[in-house]
Every structure is written in C-alpha cells, then in structure tokens.
A and B are shown apart, each in its own frame.
Chain A
Amino acid sequence: MTDTINLPNSLRSQPDSSGHFGAFGGRYVAETLMPLILELDKVYRTAKADPAFDAEFAELLRSYVGRPNPLYYAGRLTEMLRDKAAAGKGAKIYLKREELNHTGAHKINNCIGQALLARRMGKKKVIAETGAGQHGVATATVAALFGMECKIFMGAKDVERQRPNVFRMKLLGAEVIPVTSGSQTLKDAMNDALRHWVSNVHDTFYIIGTAAGPHPYPELVRDFQSIIGKETRAQMMEAEGRLPDMLIAPVGGGSNAIGMFHPFLDDPEVAMIGVEAAGEGLDKKHAASLAGGASGILHGNRTYLLQDEDGQITEAHSISAGLDYPGIGPEHSWLHEIGRVRYLPVTDDEALASFQTLAKLEGIIPALESAHAIAAAEQIAPTMDADKIIVVNLSGRGDKDIFTVADALGVEM
C-alpha cells in the first residue's frame, strides 16, 4: 500500500492534497469533525511512509485474513458461455477469490488497516455503519483482534433482515445499535454513526466501510483494498504471462472495485467495468448512482448521488443490501467522468440468475453483490474473442444471502 507513485499524467496519483478526485471527493463535514479529519490525514501520511506499518498490515493479511487468496480459472462458466457464443468468441473468465478471506468478503482488508490507524491515534473505541452486516462483522472482528470497544450502527430494517450477522457481531463482542431514523437502512446507519462520532471525537475512531466519506477515507480505504489488484496482477502474470484484458467488479460504495482497479489504472490495455445495482430497473427503484444520479454532497464527499431536483436524497433499492446505498465513492465518480472505467447497470433478476449459475457451474455461492459482477461477465464474455481474459472480483461469499434468495425464488426454508 506504499507504492502509489505520484507520476504526472498518472491516473493513480489522485486525490490532490485536499482530497479531490477532479470535481469529486473533498471534506464536507461539520466543523467539530474537521480537526479530527485533518489529524487522521497526518497520521495516515506518516503510516504510509513507515515500513513497519506496512509490514504489520501485510503480516496480518497473511496470517489472519488468509491472503493471498487464489485467482481461479472458472472453466465451466467460461465453457458454458462459449457454447452460447459465436465461433471463436467467449473470453476466459477468472475469479479473484475475495470470498475466501476470513469473514467471507473483501471488507476485512480495510478493517485491519483502519484498526492499525486507530491504534496509532490512541483510540480505544471504534464505530462503524453496516448495511447487510458484512462490514459490521469485519469491524467487530478486528475490534476483537485489537481489544477495542466496538459499536455497530445498523438500520432497524437491516437488523430484522440480517439476523444471523447481528448475532455474529454480538458474539464478537460488539454492541449493535439499531437505527430507527429515516429509511432505517444503510444511509441512516451512516448518519447515526456520524452523529455518534461527532459527539465522541476525543476517544472514538470511525471505521468507514467503503471508499467514500470525507478525505482521507476514500484514499486510505482504496489503498488498503489495493491488495486485491496487486495480487491479481501478480497472479495473472504467473498464470497467463500477461495482464488481463478486462476487470469486472460490483460497485456499491465501490471499495472492492477501486481496490481491484487502482493498480491497473495506468495500463490502458486493461478495460474496467464497474457494475451498479439497477434494482428493479433504471426506470424503477434502483441503486445506480452513476446511471441514475447526479453530482451532490452527502456523508462528507461530493460524488454522484440519487437525489431529486431539490437535492433531497432518494431511497436506493437493490436486492443486495451491500449495494443498497444512494451514493458511490468519489474516485468512481471521477473515473466515470473521465471515461477510464465503464459502469454498467445489472438488475436484481439478472444478479439472482447469476447467483444460481455460479453455484451450479462452479460450486461457489457468491454474495449477491458479486453476483452482479458475474452477470455482467456473462453478458460481455461472449462478445469478446476466446483468447481474451476477464477477471471478475468475487468480493464476497453468499451464505448471508441465502434467505433473501430463497425468498425471491419463492422457496420456503
């Protein structure tokens, strides 16, 4: 995470010193939080330049998270798509197996990094927001690992929908606080986490779960998640002796995607697709901030948001609770505007189909978030030549989603 080179004309040198990715990012927080945000920035600069910090991070990723996780050639998925494609078409599909991490998703990478920062800042208490509960579980896990007191803010609706994860967090020693304000989902959990933070700035560190929020969060979350792209790069060189032609990753806030993409941004031969949740369709309820939103300010950053003409935030919808958020990380907004990354919408139904496809063909039950990326790969691979290579970020495993999926398929469990 210390190898971001500030080359001129590099797409990897963002953000600027005030936290802007082009017109996006920044620090839009109440004055009470500004001094803490500035201190965090200072601490992060120092940590980034400290080999001991990097070494401890790398060791925990190895011995505790279980990295590196494999880059797996999904042969049956590839062949099934080739069968449907024209002759000579059907790109090779690899899966980056983030779902094999401890706690079952990419979220833990970032939580380890931020817990190390919290310890550096002398904070003994951590808080986090969570939607589906994956980031909450990952945060509760590192809090246990580091002996920190942990509070997780979770929308009351999500507490009801995600009871197994609520129990997991409690087992790990965290206090789960149901948020009853607003729409009682992820954005409201984030509002209440910010409210708690502003009232407890002196002893509390906020572990933000995605590459969004006030600077330096989008940058440091990306840096911690960049391990995904760095491993992919090395593993692909080993497997195929060259870089992939395309990367595909799901995007809610976008931390797994930016972690996968960032190490490849300066390789023009590598195309990138971020997959947004189109919910019931872009003309109905969805969570596709880039396809259906506009630039605005929420939760500490300027970025694309789902909002009405008065700037009121509109409710997001996705079958995947992890994508059910009306915004997106600011670096994605920038990559979208400059055209470096293409963002595609995938609906609930398409994701549900791919969820089952991957389970049956590869024996891997993906998270519904990741199933969105699989769906995009199923659409794109047959249009590419058979000698092309796609890597899909399998950001999480789907155990947490089986109740939602059963419900959507009308299966009684």
Chain B
Amino acid sequence: MNRDRLSSRFAACKAQGRAALITFMTAGDPDIAATPAILDALVAGGADIIELGMPFTDPMADGPAIELANLRSLGSGTKTKHIFALAADFRARHPDVPLILMGYANPMLVRGADWFADQCRIAGVDGVICVDVPPEEDAEIGPALRAAGVHLVRLATPTTDATRLPAVLDGASGFLYHVAVAGITGKQQAAQASIEIAVRKLKAATDLPIAVGFGVRSPEQAAAIGRVADGVVVGSAIVDIVGSHGDAAAPFVQDFVAALSGALTTQAQETAA
C-alpha cells in the first residue's frame, strides 16, 4: 500500500501523544441524502478514522441501536451502489481521512469477493471489517482484499486466548480491533482494568495499532481507554444521536464527537505534563 492513510493517521496521532478517535455511523441512516453531512460532522468534530457501516437485514453482532440504524437505512432504500458512491464522494471531500467499511459477509460477498474488493479500491476505501468472517474462513474475502490493497481489519475479543491470537493476527492489517466485551455492540461496558490487561497482551503480540471498541459511550471512557490504546472506537452512542435527530443530526453529532476528541486531547496533554 503506497499511500496508506491508516498507518499515516495512527502515526500522526501517536506523534501528538494521543489515541486516534474512530467513529462509526451506518451508511444511509436515516437516508442516503443525509449521510454526507453526518460524515462531514464526524470529521469536523475531530474523528481521525471513519467506520462506515454497511446495513444488513440480520445484524447478529449488533445491539438494538445499530440494528435499528440498519433497518432505518434499508427502509429508506439504501443499496450497495449508494454506499460505494458515498465512499467515493467522501474520499473526494476528505483525501486524507481513512475510511473503513464495516459489515456482514453476505452483502459484501454476494457479487463475489473480487467485485467487492475492487469497488473498495476504486472508491478509496482503506479497510474492511467483516464481522462474521473469522480467520478460519479467510479465503472468502482476505485474498481479494489483499490483492486490491485494502486492509482487512480483524477483531480480537475477550474469548480470543493466547493460542488463538496468532491465527487472528495472520492476515490482519491496518489495525487490530479489540472488542472489549464478549457481547454485542452498544450494550455492556468493559472494566477499564480488563481493557488495560488485554491491550498489553495484544501489544506484546503485534506491531499493529490496537483500537478498542464496543460499549464506549462517553468522553471520560474514551479518554481512559486512550491512555492505553492506539485508537478508541465509538459507535452506538453516535448512532443513537442519529436515531434521535434523523436528518438534522449533523450538528449534534459534531458536538458529541468534538467532546470525545477534546477528551482524548486533554488526556494526552495531562499525560505529557
């Protein structure tokens, strides 16, 4: 990967002594027309990396907040072609902000992995998180993404033990996403102590940046996790704001993301001082 936006962004955050802020929204929530403004609000609020969710009828790994977002999006007519158009437009407006597509295998692979990887490359998508393709089924999607120069971001969870971790890391790139709770998105919150132990273990096993997500809802939590991890992922809390404000959500999203970003920066300054 020649112009690797992801590693440049993690490096830049590290140089500032802070964790990267990774924010999630579902593409097409509440509809396709409203999505660019919300994406721009994420960036304007200070998000370093954007995860754009691909809606799916059956989002089994997601809690109620993101599940509802998926249904709102599909209900308003979101199609896969719209998502790639959103991504390409985002790339044109924000040439340096890394963009990750996150979702489930079936919508990604229905036209074949090569088609999907190619669309990602053309649209300027930097990485993909496919929730329901574990390393054991890598052949479904991994080779096509690698050939297209698109990162395959893998997930490590509280149940990923030391014997299994090498399999997860084999073929992982971009960063490693530590799922802080054994559960679904947006529900329970992990104990800070357990996050710290997990991140230390993961850092001992890989040079990839470690981002922590699932259950991160407040600036305070984000700041606490930012002390130990290279990135903090916030999803359901943002999706809830979109759920409440619909196509008028952008300013509210921007304010919330600014609070998250501010907390990460303040924490970094305090640590440095």
Contact B57 A313 (CB under 8 A): yes
Contact with A along B33-73 (1 / 0, CB 8 A): 00000000000000000000000111111011001000100
Q: Which A residues are in CB contact (< 8 Å) with B241?
A: none
A26 at the interface (CB under 8 A from B): yes
Contact A30 B107 (CB under 8 A): no
Q: Which B residues are in CB contact (< 8 Å) with A188?
A: 58
Q: How far is the CA of A161 from the CA of B45 in the complex (A)?
A: 48
B131 at the interface (CB under 8 A from A): yes
Contact with B along A170-208 (1 / 0, CB 8 A): 000000000001100001100100110011011000000
B159 at the interface (CB under 8 A from A): yes
A28 at the interface (CB under 8 A from B): yes
Interface residues of B in 169-213 (CB under 8 A from A): 179, 181-184, 187-188
A240 at the interface (CB under 8 A from B): no
The segment from A54-62, A304-312, A346-354, A398-406 that touches chain B is: A304-312
Q: How far is the CA of A29 from the CA of B51 in the complex (A)?
A: 20
- Of chain A, the residue at the smallest CB distance from B158 is A32
Q: Tell whether A298 pairs with B106 under 8 Å between CB atoms, given A31-B179, A201-B182.
A: yes
Contact B136 A18 (CB under 8 A): yes
B110 at the interface (CB under 8 A from A): yes
B32 at the interface (CB under 8 A from A): no
Q: Which one of A26, A34, A201, A299 lies within 8 Å of B60 (CB-CB)?
A: A299
A68 at the interface (CB under 8 A from B): no
User: Main SS of the interface on chain B?
Assistant: loop
Q: How far is the CA of A194 from the CA of B58 in the complex (A)?
A: 11
B88 at the interface (CB under 8 A from A): no
Contact B106 A305 (CB under 8 A): yes
Contact with B along A7-32 (1 / 0, CB 8 A): 00000000000100000001111111
Q: How far is the CA of A195 from the CA of B107 in the complex (A)?
A: 20
B80 at the interface (CB under 8 A from A): yes
Q: Which B residues are in CB contact (< 8 Å) with A195?
A: 60-61, 63, 184
Q: Tell whether A297 pairs with B105 under 8 Å between CB atoms, given A27-B136, A31-B168.
A: yes
Contact A311 B106 (CB under 8 A): yes
Contact A311 B60 (CB under 8 A): no
B155 at the interface (CB under 8 A from A): yes
Least CB distance, A186 to chain B, in whole angstroms: 12
Contact B106 A297 (CB under 8 A): yes
A-B contact pairs, 11 of them (CB 8 A): A28-B134, A29-B132, A30-B61, A36-B159, A182-B58, A199-B181, A199-B183, A199-B184, A297-B140, A298-B106, A311-B56
